[in-house]
Amino acid sequence: MRPTLTEIEIAEPGLVVLCGASGSGKSTFARRHFASTEVVSSDQCRAMVGDDETDQTVTAEAFDLLHTIVRKRLEIGRLTVVDATNAKTPDRKALVEIARRADLMVTAIVFDLPLAWCVERNSSRDDRQTPRHAIKRQHETLRRNARRLRKEGFARVHTIGTADELDSVRIVRSRLWCDRRDDVGPFDIIGDVHGCHTELVEMLDRLGYDVAARPVTHPDNRRAVFVGDLVDRGPGVAEVLEVVMSMVDSGSALCIAGNHENKLGRALAGRQVQMTHGLAESLVQLEQRSAAFRDQVAVFVDGLISHYVLDGGRLVVAHAGLPERYHGRASARVRDIALYGDTDGESDEYGLPVRYPWAADYRGDAAVVYGHTPVMAAEWVNNTICVDTGAVFGGELTALRWPERELVSVQAAEVYYEPVRPLDAEPHADDRAHTALDISDVAGKHIVDTSLAGRVTIEAEQSSAALEVMSRFAVDPRWLAYLPPTMAPVATSTRDGYLEHPDEAFAYFERAGVREVVCQEKHMGSRAVVVMARDVGAAEARFGIANEAGGVIVTRTGRAFFAESAATASLLARLRAAAERTGLWDRLGTDWLVLDAELLPWSAKGAELIQDLYASTGAAGTAALSTASKLIAAAAGRGVALDELAARTDERASHLGSFIDAYRQYCWDTDGVEGVEIAPFQILAAHGEVLARRPHAWHLDEIDALIAEAPDVLCRTDRRHVTIDDAASIADVTDWWHSMTERGGEGMVAKPADPVTFNDKGLVLPGVKCRGREYLRLIYGAEYLAPENLQQLRQRSLKRKSSLARREFALGIEALDRFVANEHLSRVHQCVFAVLALESEPVDPRL
């Protein structure tokens, strides 16, 4: 008699298939042990498609639905329990196949209860009774083929044979072995060691481990993670195993399987393997040790698993790397790909297998650290990095410190093994890594995770509008590391004759708990993002694209400012030279920069708008109102009572005159780039750092230095510093704003001294604009200052605009973060695209 079943262990995530005749207690069991959402039942699916749980005529449709639900749940990694008879092999096979495709394990729980018991339970149901003969048939079928279940692909089969077991059995959920998300490190991930014991010890020492101790530990509880291939080729295989095994044993290290451990394991188990690629050397070295040690090694390598998901899912370590869809999954396929890479049988000129360049297409959130293929230097490609730098071939042993993302290398003492293929012949991730953007990266509804504002949702209609603009007008997306966010105006002023006034800017920051504020002159031009490399080579290296100008100057929707590339080239050349002379390149240790700026005059880019809208309105208005005045005067001369109309018409003419003056301020003649000025106000990013997080004071100082070197093309942004509780500084800035705007200036932008500032409510607006009275005529119309009009305008609502400004700002910074971290182009593009998409939101364009 078999022992009583007390515990059923199931893998989570994974698929659990309940098999049993009607009345065998599956549904009751499922209800007791699983959340209702985890259970997918064939009866429910019947009801969903056909309104009746017992309607056998909709069986095909119901199972279609059931399979779809199971597939979707497994795809996103949810534990799923199928409650159906599952008596016949084909029914179960379909489910096993779905689990296999999702690379998850499938467990069977067989309800092998006595037929009489099932029939008895079934007959006690008031609804949906199954005929006795049907139950009998199910029961027999299942009995007949139950023992085949392992063969059908079920990883575990549990049989419940008695009503007692049914009542008492417990379900134990266990995480997959690869799932170590709870383990947050810090880690030191060490590349392929291949028996280089000397180098390993030096590395551990350098990483701060106490190498004299046994086992080796780290005083700060850092842990080593070995990417596999500890063995073969090198001289100290046994010693390396000794160190690593003891570390893993004591918990001061983790180790995943490499293909070499895999093969060694088979050799130690006495299986027939080819003694190539250094395996023979390993076996010779192990022969010198005791049989007990060899047994330990056999157990150790046998227990190594394919990959680990660590640190909350932010880090994945797999020997040969791993595409995102296999992270945290367990199947023979996953193990194969993790150990050997995705190969399809082809070999290169050195006879080594050609692997699919998975890293080129990698778009995942998790950083993937891997080894397997020796490279000259460890480099981040799309958030993946290979840390096998060929120690055994006379290269280096490399470690990656996590989460610091710092690399540590130890030079190999000698060439222990001649590489089949020279190290520098390893093909780089191919070019598609940079150019291939897929429509699915941007189309439809998207959610972008941002570090500043959490999840930002982009609706399908917004994406659709952005797609047209992006693909018809924007520059090559490889240049677009950033698009600027919109900016909210200050709250509406209640002062007589003002719609916007600095008081409200300071009130906002006071409420937000921000004490130090920088007020910057707002230039009336066109927003411009400058992307430039130090030279063409640097552009090619960083952006994967080169042009004559070595960069681009784009508008806020990503289109090139100048049709002629010579114009961009000439502006960038001057800017580049200025950065050279101030030593900015070297000070920042960068060979590329992204700047946020305003390009002047307005008429350089806005000529069409100025002429079509502003000058046209002015022209029509002047003609109409002057004629009207004349005719009114003539009629009045005849004694018609028109005094009031005459006065009103004069008043309107004067408003129109001010309106014309307002737009004329921002127009001057330019010829190509002659007469064009750039007013940079932020250095957004450079190699290794998103500078947009640095205080504004730093930016303005650096930019002032640039301006001194190129005063003909660069234009200074005047600014004032305000301390919110210092009334004198506020009065001073208010006066400054008045004098600026009365001279025709657009106004100012007030920003927290630190661009990224949080308070207890979240992200503080990165700036609020406060526009001048005269300038606002261009926004609200010539006559907006008439008291009855102003009164109406005061009802404007700023909420959506502020929310939009915050989200777009977060997206912009996210784009830069991803760009600086060398993530896949699509991950950067998604953020940039999202800024553009949000700009299609219906918000009052006057804000």
Partner 1 sequence: MLVSLTSTTPDATDLGFLLHKHPDRVRSVDVGFGRAHVFYPEATPDRCTATLFVEVDSFAASKRRSGRQSLHLGGLEPYVNDRPYAASSMLSVAIGRLFRTALAGTCDARPELVDRPLDLAVELAALGVRGGADVLQRLFQPLGYDVECAPIPLDTEFGDWGDSRYCSVRLAGRHTVRRTLEHLYVMLPVLDDRKHYWIGPDEVDKLMRRGGEWLAAHPESELITRRYLRFGTLAREALARLAEAGEDVDRADRRHDDAEQANERRMNLRELRLDAVMDAVRGAGAGRVADLGCGEGRLLQRLIDEAAVTAILGMDTSIGALERAERRLGLDEMSERRRERVSLAQGSLTYTDERLRGFDVVTLVEVVEHLDPERLDVFADVVFGRAAPAAVVLTTPNREYNVSFEHLGQSGLRHGDHRFEWTRGEFTAWARGVGGRYGYGCEISGIGPDDPQCGPPTQMAVFRRAP
- 645 belongs to the binding site for partner 1 (CB under 8 A): yes
Least Å distance between CB 523 and partner 1?
A: 15
**Cβ closer to partner 1: 246 or 670?**
670
> Which of 273, 467, 697, 740 contacts partner 1 by CB under 8 A?
467
* Residue listed under structure tokens 């130690």: 268
User: Which one among 577, 640, 647, 731 touches partner 1, defined by CB under 8 A?
Assistant: 640
Write phi, then psi, for 844 (nearest 5 degrees). Answer: -45, 115
**Smallest distance from partner 1 to CB 635, Å:** 4
Coil, strand or helix: which one is 527? strand
Q: Compare residues 573 and 628 and give the one whose CB is closer to partner 1.
A: 628
- The Cα–Cα gap between 218 and 235 comes to 26
Q: Is residue 41 near partner 1 by the rule CB under 8 A? A: no
- Both tokens assigned to 528: 């411009």
Question: Shortest Cβ distance from residue 429 to partner 1 (Å)?
Answer: 16
Which region, judged by CB under 8 A, interacts with partner 1, from 111-119, 198-206, 681-689, 833-841? 833-841
496: left (phi over 0), alpha (psi -120 to 50) or beta: beta
Choosing from 778, 804, 805, 834, the residue that interacts with partner 1 (CB under 8 A) is 778
Which of the ranges 38-46, 576-584, 607-615, 692-700 carries the binding residues for partner 1, by CB under 8 A?
Answer: 607-615
Residue placing its CB nearer to partner 1 in the complex, 253 or 549: 549
Measured from the CB atom, the residue of 699 and 769 that comes closer to partner 1 is: 769
Answer yes or no whether residue 605 interacts with partner 1 by CB under 8 A.
yes
Q: Rule CB under 8 A: is residue 646 a binding residue for partner 1? A: no
Residue of the chain from 283, 385, 475, 600 that contacts partner 1 (CB under 8 A)? 475
Give me the residues paired with residue 686 across strands. Answer: 593, 689
End-to-end CA separation in angstroms for the chain? 80
List 57, 168, 347, 616, residue binding partner 1 (CB under 8 A): 616
From 1-9, 286-294, 439-447, 513-521, give the range in contact with partner 1 by CB under 8 A.
439-447
Does residue 670 belong to the site contacting partner 1 (CB under 8 A)?
no
Q: Crossing angle, helix 616-637 and helix 643-664, to 10 degrees?
A: 160
- Does position 662 interact with partner 1 (CB under 8 A)? The reply is no
**Position among 3, 90, 351, 639 found at the interface with partner 1 (CB under 8 A):** 639
Q: Does 671 bind partner 1 (CB under 8 A)?
A: no
DSSP string, 453-483: TEEEEE-HHHHHHHHHHHHHHBPPTTT-S--
CA separation for the pair 24, 29 (Å, rounded): 9
Q: Considering the rule CB under 8 A, would residue 753 count as an interface residue with partner 1?
A: no
Q: Phi first, then psi: what are they for 461, rounded to 5°? A: -65, -35
Only segment of 267-275, 293-301, 484-492, 838-846 that touches partner 1 (CB under 8 A): 838-846
Pick 382 or 555: Cβ nearer partner 1: 555
Question: From the centroid of its chain, how far is CA 784?
Answer: 44
Bridge-based pairing of strands 170-175 and 156-160 is unpaired
**Residue 590 interacts with partner 1 (CB under 8 A): yes or no:** no
Angle between helices 237-250 and 279-287 (to 10 degrees): 80
Q: Judged by CB, which is closer to partner 1: 272, or 440? A: 440
> Contact letters (x/-) for partner 1, 786-825, by CB under 8 A?
---x--x---------------------------------
Q: Does 632 bind partner 1 (CB under 8 A)?
A: yes
CB-nearer residue toward partner 1: 94 or 624: 624
Instruction: Single out the segment in contact with partner 1 by CB under 8 A; choices: 189-197, 349-357, 603-611, 702-710.
Output: 603-611
CA atoms within 13 A on the CB side of 347: 6
Least Cα distance to 658 among 629, 630, 628, 617 occurs for: 617
Q: Where are the alpha helices (DSSP H) in 596-742?
A: 602-609, 616-637, 643-664, 696-709, 727-742
Closer Cβ to partner 1, 641 or 727, answer by number: 641
- 722: β partners: 517
Q: Which of residues 526-585 bind partner 1 (CB under 8 A)?
A: 526, 545, 547, 555-557, 559
Asked whether position 638 contacts partner 1 by CB under 8 A, the answer is yes
Nearer to partner 1, 287 or 438 (CB): 438
Tell me which stretch binds partner 1 (CB under 8 A): 5-13, 370-378, 383-391, 606-614. 606-614
CB of 349 to partner 1, least distance (A): 22
Q: Give the nearest distance from C-beta 65 to partner 1 in angstroms.
A: 23
Task: Report if residue 433 touches partner 1, rule: CB under 8 A.
Answer: no
Residue type, position 608, single letter: E
Residues 508, 765 contacting (CB under 8 angstroms): yes
Burial of 396 (0-12, 13-18, 19+ CB in 10 A): buried
| Helix 115-123 vs helix 132-145: crossing angle, to nearest 10 | 150
User: Does 296 engage in binding with partner 1 (CB under 8 A)?
Assistant: no
Q: Which is nearer to partner 1, 411 or 616 (CB)?
A: 616
647 makes contact with partner 1 (CB under 8 A): no
Helices (H), 269-382: 279-287, 291-302, 332-340, 358-361
Give the one residue of 618, 680, 755, 812 binding partner 1; rule: CB under 8 A: 618
Strand arrangement, sheet containing 380-381: 179-180, 307-310, 315-318, 367-370, 384-386, 380-381
Distance of CA 23 to the CA centre of its chain: 49
User: For residues 245 and 632, which CB has a smaller minimum distance to partner 1 in the complex?
Assistant: 632
- Residue of 287, 379, 468, 586 that binds partner 1 (CB under 8 A): 468
Footprint (CB under 8 A) of partner 1, residues 685-724: none
Q: Would you count residue 621 as binding partner 1 (CB under 8 A)?
A: yes
Distance from chain centroid for Cα 558: 20
Examine residue 90 and say whether the peptide bond preceding it is cis (omega within 30 degrees of 0). Answer: no
Among 166, 367, 625, 706, binds partner 1 (CB under 8 A): 625
Residue closer to partner 1, measured from CB, 273 or 645:
645
831 is a site residue for partner 1 (CB under 8 A): no
10 Å CB burial of residue 253 (0-12, 13-18, 19+) is buried
Residue from the set 69, 624, 697, 753 that interacts with partner 1 by CB under 8 A: 624
Q: 317: which strand partners?
A: 308, 369
**Cβ atoms of 339 and 306 closer than 8 Å:** yes
**From 57-65, 472-480, 510-518, 592-600, span contacting partner 1 (CB under 8 A):** 472-480
How far is the CA of 485 from the CAs of 37, 689, 780, in angstroms? Answer: 41, 20, 22
Task: Give SS3 for 663.
Answer: helix
Residue type, 476: D
Q: How far is the CB of 782 from partner 1 (least distance, A)?
A: 8
Measured over all CA atoms, what is the biggest interatomic distance in the chain, rounded to whole angstroms? 126
Among 269, 439, 566, 731, binds partner 1 (CB under 8 A): 439
Q: 472 or 799, CB closer to partner 1?
A: 472
Q: Report the residue number, 69 or 436, with the smaller CB distance to partner 1.
A: 436
Cα–Cα–Cα angle for 192, 198, 200, rounded to 5 degrees: 40
Task: Name residue 290's amino acid.
Answer: S
Shortest Cβ 698–partner 1 spacing (Å): 31
340 versus 356: smaller Cβ distance to partner 1: 356
The DSSP 8-state label assigned to residue 613 in this structure reads I
Nearest distance from C-beta of residue 515 to partner 1, angstroms: 35
- Per the rule left: phi > 0, alpha: psi between -120 and 50, beta: everything else, 128 is left
Q: Kind of pairing, strands 406-411 and 396-402? A: antiparallel
Closest alpha carbon to 531 in 473, 593, 476, 474:
593
Site for partner 1 contains 95 (CB under 8 A)? no
Q: How far is the CB of 801 from partner 1 (least distance, A)?
A: 13
